[in-house]
């Protein structure tokens, strides 16, 4: 009951500032569109680069989007009330990251279909690309949330967050881009997808504790 109320609040707030939430997705689309301009529009080249380009752009878009995760609640004091509420903070942040992914990560995963088309990514492999992003972007959301919880009280947190979190996202990038890249040339993709799934489970179980601890420190100061 209380949990649904929390999700409902987050979704309603997200709906009311939908313009702000759309920015990571727009960023994703624009960044991927820059690559053909910078390299050259040869379809064969774009096809080989597509998995990496899509994955790096998704990674950056998700991380930049996480900056807003706790910002407004920190500024208006809601976060302190959440800390005092009878529901443990770990549950609250888990739900928050989940709803935030629902409104920023999921649209990005769906839009990657369009980007795949633009970059001439083979259409028969697009299922694996979508699945890799579907499993991978929530992990990035959790890692980004760890960074967001630590930098929420800082003014220059926007630039700091990617510096803190990017090295930690390397495994996600490797397995995600490997799944998408292997699918494109018709290789089996089970292994990297399994790894992504395992890391997602690890992120769901461990990250909320780190995020909650980070928020407690940020609120104390």
Partner 1 sequence: MFVWFHKLASPPFFYRFADKLAPWLGWMSLLVILAGLYGGLWLSPPDYQQGDGFRIIYVHVPSAWISMMAYMVMATAAAIGLIWRMKLAHAVSAAAAPLGASFTFLALVTGSLWGKPMWGTYWVWDARLTSELILLFLYLGYIALNHAFEDRRTGDRASAILAIVGAVNVPIIHFSVNWWNTLHQGPTVFFGPKAEMPPSMYIPLFIMMFGFMLFFAAFMLKRLQVEVLQRERNTAWVRDLVGQP
- Closest to partner 1 by CB, 122 or 153: 153
Q: Which two tokens stand for residue 19?
A: 């313009």
Q: Is 171 in the site for partner 1 (CB under 8 A)?
A: yes
Site residue total, partner 1 (CB under 8 A): 29
- Closest to partner 1 by CB, 32 or 169: 169
The CA dihedral of 136, 164, 171, 173, to the nearest 10 degrees, is 50
Q: Which two tokens stand for residue 84?
A: 């005092």
Short-list 192, 8, 175, 176, CA closest to 102 = 8
At a CB cut-off of 8 Å and minimum separation 6, what does 123 contact? 116, 117
Distance CA 63, CA 57 (A): 10
Q: Is 217 in the site for partner 1 (CB under 8 A)?
A: yes
- Closest to partner 1 by CB, 102 or 174: 174
- Exposure string (b/e) for 158-174, b if CB count within 10 Å is 16 or more? eeebbebbbeebeebbe
Contact stretch for partner 1 (CB under 8 A) within 42-50, 52-60, 129-137, 199-207: 199-207
Exactly one of 83, 113, 164, 204 binds partner 1 (CB under 8 A); that residue is 164
CB of residue 9 vs partner 1: minimum separation in angstroms?
26
Contact positions toward partner 1, by CB under 8 A?
Answer: 146, 150-151, 153-154, 156, 160, 163-168, 170-171, 174-175, 178, 195, 199, 202, 206, 210, 213-214, 217-218, 220-221
């Amino acid at each position: 009951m209380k949990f649904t109320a929390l999700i409902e609040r987050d979704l309603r707030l997200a709906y009311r500032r939908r313009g702000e939430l759309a920015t990571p997705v727009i960023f994703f689309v624009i960044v991927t569109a820059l690559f053909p301009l910078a390299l050259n529009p040869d379809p064969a080249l774009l096809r080989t680069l597509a998995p990496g380009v899509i994955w790096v752009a998704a990674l950056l878009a998700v991380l930049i989007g996480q900056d807003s995760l706790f910002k407004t609640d920190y500024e208006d004091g809601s976060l302190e009330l959440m800390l005092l509420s009878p529901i443990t903070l770990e549950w609250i942040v888990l739900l928050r990251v989940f709803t935030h992914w629902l409104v920023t990560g999921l649209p990005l995963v769906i839009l990657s279909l369009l980007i795949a088309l633009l970059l001439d990514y083979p259409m028969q492999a697009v299922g694996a690309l979508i699945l890799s992003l579907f499993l991978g972007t929530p992990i990035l959301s959790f890692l980004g949330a760890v960074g967001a919880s630590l930098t929420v009280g800082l003014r220059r947190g926007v630039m700091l967050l990617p510096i803190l979190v990017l090295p930690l996202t390397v495994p996600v990038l490797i397995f995600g881009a490997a799944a998408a890249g292997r699918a494109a040339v018709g290789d089996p993709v089970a292994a990297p997808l399994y790894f992504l799934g395992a890391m997602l489970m690890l992120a769901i179980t461990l990250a909320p504790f780190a995020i909650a601890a980070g928020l407690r420190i940020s609120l104390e100061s």
